[in-house]
Structure 1
Amino acid sequence: MLYLFSYVVILNGWLFVLMGIDKKKAQNHQWRIPEKTLLLFGIIGGGLGGLLGMQLFHHKTSKLRFKLSYSLGTALVVGLFIYFS
Structure 2
Amino acid sequence: MFYFLLVINFFSFIIYRADKRKAEKHERRISEKKLLAVSLFGGTLGAFLAMVIFRHKISKTSFVLKFGCIVLIQVVFIYLFENYS
TM-score (norm 2): 0.77
1:8 corresponds in structure 2 to: 5
Give the counterpart of 1:22 among 16, 19, 24.
19
Give the counterpart of 2:34 among 37, 48, 58.
37
Query: CA shift at 1:49, angstroms?
Result: 0.3
Q: Which has the larger radius of gyration?
A: 2
TM-score (norm 1): 0.77
Structure 1 unmatched runs, 5+: none
1:25-63: CA deviation from partner (whole Å, max 9, x where unpaired): 000000111110000011111100000000011000123
Structure 2 unmatched runs, 5+: none
Quickly say closer, same or farther: Cα 1:73–1:59, change in 2 above 3 A: farther
Measured in 2, the distance between the counterparts of 1:29 and 1:15 equals 21
Measured in 1, the distance between the counterparts of 2:26 and 2:4 equals 32
Give the counterpart of 1:47 among 44, 47, 65.
44
2:68 corresponds in structure 1 to: 68
* 1:75 maps to amino acid: V
